[in-house]
Structure formats: C-alpha cells, structure tokens
Amino acid sequence: MQVSFFQRIVQQQNTSRDYKKTNFEMLAMNVHPFYQIEFQKQVGEMIYSTLTGKSMEAYKLQESLGNVTT
C-alpha cells in the first residue's frame, strides 16, 4: 500500500511542481483489516468533499459569468 501526501510550496498553485510530495509505503498485510477499512472510508470522504467543493466553485463561476454577459 502506498500513501502520498502533498504539501504546497508556493502560495498560488498552478502546476504539480508547486507541491512537495512525500510517499509512504507499507505492506498491506502489516496493516490491520479494520484500519484498512477505515482508511478507505476516509479516502472516499475526502474525494467526495473535493468533488463537491470543485463543483460548487464551477457553479459559482458559471453564474458569475452569466451575470457578466447579460
């Protein structure tokens, strides 16, 4: 199992080079099954939260652009 953590290097991130990446590797058999399940749940929640936030930003941008052109 490999886990990657990203930490921003600059204030305004434009590319993947603006992040520092730290990798952790471990054998899945060394991690208790309960923790594997909890980890997968947390990853799912983080992905859902990110997608929700991005879709809300896209909707706000769409609405603001609609207000500018009319």
CB neighbourhood size of 23 (10 A): 8
Look up residue 38 and give its amino acid: E
Q: What percent of the chain has pLDDT over 90?
A: 9
Contact call for residues 20 and 6 (beta carbons, < 8 A):
yes
pLDDT tens sequence for the chain (70 residues): 777 778 888 777 777 778 888 888 878 788 888 888 888 898 889 889 999 999 999 999 888 887 776 5
pTM of the model: 0.48
Domain layout of the chain by residue ranges: 1-31, 32-70
Contact call for residues 40 and 28 (beta carbons, < 8 A):
no
Helices and strands of the chain, counted as H and E runs: 1, 2
